Structure 1
Amino acid sequence: MTEGTTQTSSRSSPFAPRHPWQVLCAGIASLVLTVGLARFAYTPLLPLMQAQAGLSESMGGWLATLNYAGYMTGALIASAASRPALRLRLYRLGLLAGLIGTGGMGLTSDPVLWMVLRFIAGASAAAGLLLASGMVLGWLVAHGRRPELGLHFSGIGTGIVVSGVLVALMTPAFDWAQQWQVMGAVGLALLVPAFLWMPAPQPPAATAPAAAAPSRPSLSMWLLIASYFFAGIGFVITATFLVAATEKQPALVGTGFLVWIVVGLTSIPATFAWDRIARRIGEVPAMIVAYVLQGLSSLLPVMSAHLWAALGGAVLFGVTFIGIVSLMLTLVGKRNSANPSQAMARLTLSYGVAQIVAPALVGTVAEKTGNYDAGLWLAALAMFAGAAVLAAYIPVERRRAATR
């Protein structure tokens, strides 16, 4: 499709985006809805649900597991959708799923329905993280604009901030169910720009090269997959239970929402910062630093019950988790330029499997021990193990490159 054809097509629809800011707003709104609210509002609301709705630690872990299982399902469906029109329909269905999965949580106290809703909410995250990202990038490139996906991904941190601020403002007046319903109302407002301004996916150019045939992963690729698996464990434990672990400390009751807001605020500029660091020292060394820092983010709340430790852990987690995802996908895309989607799919599967397994295990252990210390130790050890695997990757990759 040519530039002129694209612009003509855009003018033919009353809802088609006419400016890059509209496209970027659509992408950011989709991430705030499907990730910040549908997927991550559960984190600051988990302590309230435990205190007011009788949600046990083990059930809290299972709800998180179902959420990440939903994300994996959505990611697999999105990756299998090749036709542009189908991807747009799936994206819009994902927005609606995010709305249902968020607002619906406040309309029932049935644990089985909660499981279904968390699964639906998880599936919706694929719409914002995978489908929206591709459509935003495709539109900007087709219109001769500089790709600005760093700004697009700032929607993840913005969504975390929004969910944390909403909980902080609502807790004195609203119970857990009413807060979920307000989250749903905010999601409905975000649905409007996310639905109307998101451009249709660009069809592939006639001259685009055919995808490379599937190939078996090399040893260096297996090392990246293993390190990303450990990153998935570390991420999901901290992202799910950080607020609940903070609220378990008697001296920190009522500060969980503040910790979550700090995570969001520090994650917004993280992708830009890690890109700069990677340009100076390389992607793999930058990731090793990020892994170690994220491991420390889980240990700080265990080592001290003071607020400074909880906030320090929140800062370290916020500045690292998005950077690790961004750097890893960038690295894999470069080293598998013939078929980057295949390599990214393998990584997504590894990362996702870890996120499905870990929450239920940590929730069960927390119910037996009365705290989340064991889970946070597991998160830290997983990140340190991932850093060690990345360190082993460097000489293996050098040998592979030297033999090519």
Structure 2
Amino acid sequence: MRPLRVRFACRACRAPCGAAGRGLRLDGNAYAEAAMAGEAEMRTKAPSGGLAPWLPALLAVIVGIGFARFAYTPLLPLLVERGWVSAAEGAFAGAANLAGYLVGALAAQALAGRPERGAILNASLVLAIVSLGACAAPLGATWLSGFRFLAGVAGGLIMVLGPSAILARTPPEAKSRVSGYVFAGVGIGVMLSGALLPALATLGLVTTWLALAAMALVLTAIAWRRWPEGAGAAAAGEMPKRAPLAIALLVLAYASDGAGFVPHTLFLSDFVARGLGRGEAAGGLAWTAFGIGAVVGAPLCGLVASRIGAGPALVGALFLKAAAVALPLVSTSAVALGASAILVGALTPGMVALAAALTATLASGPAQARLFGTMTIAFAVAQAAGAYALSALFAASGSHLPLFATGAAVLAAGGLAAVGAVRMVGRG
């Protein structure tokens, strides 16, 4: 049969679908299959009720990452101060959360092809709510660590499965922008917890934990029935011809981000407060600046990626983040430290958004979830290893500056790996 050159539009948006509106060469059978696939995709769209279709993923990221993971950071000093745990026990509970996150990411890979992805995501949100509520009981370090671990599991599942469920149903030209919207949830969660928890803490830690659980419950109720149905059964999609080496370099680049930003997430406030002798208030301002950047970073990175492509944007973000991490080596003025904190804060969820958008251009459905899951696992391992390694370096040197130098070097190396990956994908 003579091939036909066709151009079709989605009835939902009247915009060309498929290869970003380009003509597709299809024979008669292929055209019928494409038409049926388009109808199936339309049937799997979420009943958004007039709300943005990416809303459930945004809310899930706020709950699973912003609340279940990052809300612990401002609460840790209070937990120690009020005798719930010792400093060492509190640190162990924090490490348990990272371990749970890794387990959740591993589980997400195994579950990526399941058609019940919406139910899995709802169960993960419930797990996050339960873990936050359980932390309100002052029953000791083992209890706290156990539920911090479960909170991490919920976060890992949500981080891998939630965005991919939405991106699988997003037109190619909108993937980068939508990814930015979704991962803005990280920064929103950080800002909400940073702004609300100090005030709530005056009412007691029990009230604070229960308030977090209540907020998570409200957001979960909004997202509950809005996940796309059948997302786990979507077609696997094709990978680029040069995928194996390109993907390995891409995973390495993303892992470098996991280790490279540790100096800011663990040591920046301490560097300002004690290393520079400017006091705890100044150290707190540095973390606030980080949070401000985190709110706007993902949408901005998504916007940039929609203009220049997710691959080049990822490369540029890694090199820019390396420069931002290295900035304290050049100047310790308030302006320089503020700029460093804002940029690294912006590129923390921004890098996640770019990585998710790039994987969505390389694969779809379960294949995209597994690829992003592999990158998330590498990120989690590098983050944990980097935290231990840089802590040991700080103990040996007694100075914060080698930490920033090491983090910047790791990020720059990741930028070089990303250059190689993007070039191979472009030739694939």
Scaled to the shorter chain, the TM-score interval is: 0.7 to 0.9
Equivalent residue in structure 2 for 1:170, among 200, 206, 219? 200
Deviation at 1:77, TM superposition (A): 1.3
Distance 1:134 1:357 in 2: 27
- Residue 385 of structure 1: aligned partner: 410
Distance 2:232 2:270 in 1: 45
Given the superposition, is the C-alpha separation of residues 52 and 5 from structure 1 closer, same or farther in structure 2, using an over 3 Å criterion? same
Distance 2:45 2:348 in 1: 36
Given the superposition, is the C-alpha separation of residues 233 and 176 from structure 1 closer, same or farther in structure 2, using an over 3 Å criterion? farther
SS in 2 for 1:319: helix
Deviation at 1:106, TM superposition (A): 2.5
Equivalent residue in structure 2 for 1:357, among 382, 385, 408? 385
Q: Percent identity?
A: 22
- Residue 124 of structure 2: aligned partner: 94
Conserved in 1, the CA contact under 8 Å of 2:112 and 2:232?
no
Q: Which has the higher helix share?
A: 1
Given the superposition, is the C-alpha separation of residues 313 and 101 from structure 1 closer, same or farther in structure 2, using an over 3 Å criterion? farther
- Residue 270 of structure 1: aligned partner: 297
- Residue 186 of structure 1: aligned partner: 215
Give the gaps of 5 or more residues in structure 2.
1-35
- Residue 18 of structure 1: aligned partner: 49
Q: How does 1:288-303 map to 2 (within 5 A)?
A: 288-296=318-326, 299=328
- Which digits, 9 at most, give the CA deviation of each residue in 1:155-199, with x for residues without a partner? 12111110111124334x234444223222222222211224334
Conserved in 2, the CA contact under 8 Å of 1:94 and 1:127?
yes
Conserved in 1, the CA contact under 8 Å of 2:97 and 2:149?
yes
Conserved in 1, the CA contact under 8 Å of 2:168 and 2:364?
no
- Which digits, 9 at most, give the CA deviation of each residue in 1:15-65, with x for residues without a partner? x533243x4333222121111110100122222233333755544443232
- Residue 102 of structure 2: aligned partner: 72
- Residue 323 of structure 1: aligned partner: 350
Given the superposition, is the C-alpha separation of residues 10 and 389 from structure 1 closer, same or farther in structure 2, using an over 3 Å criterion? closer
Equivalent residue in structure 1 for 2:265, among 239, 244, 255? 239
**After the TM superposition, which of the residue ranges 326-335 and 80-89 deviates more from structure 2?**
326-335
Q: How does 1:144-163 map to 2 (within 5 A)?
A: 148-163=178-193
Deviation at 1:122, TM superposition (A): 0.9
Give the gaps of 5 or more residues in structure 1.
none
Equivalent residue in structure 2 for 1:32, among 55, 62, 80? 62
Distance 1:100 1:341 in 2: 25
Distance 1:401 1:189 in 2: 43
Distance 2:80 2:338 in 1: 22
Deviation at 1:284, TM superposition (A): 5.4
Given the superposition, is the C-alpha separation of residues 294 and 105 from structure 1 closer, same or farther in structure 2, using an over 3 Å criterion? farther
* 1:130 equivalenced with 2:160 (yes/no): yes
Given the superposition, is the C-alpha separation of residues 57 and 355 from structure 1 closer, same or farther in structure 2, using an over 3 Å criterion? farther
Given the superposition, is the C-alpha separation of residues 199 and 30 from structure 1 closer, same or farther in structure 2, using an over 3 Å criterion? same
TM-score by length of 2: 0.73
Aligned residues: 387
TM-score by length of 1: 0.77
What letter is aligned with 1:202? A
- Looking at CA atoms only, which structure, 1 or 2, has the larger radius of gyration? 2
Deviation at 1:98, TM superposition (A): 1.1
SS in 2 for 1:107: coil
What letter is aligned with 2:209? W
- Which digits, 9 at most, give the CA deviation of each residue in 1:202-234, with x for residues without a partner? 3646xx46666999842x544443333221113
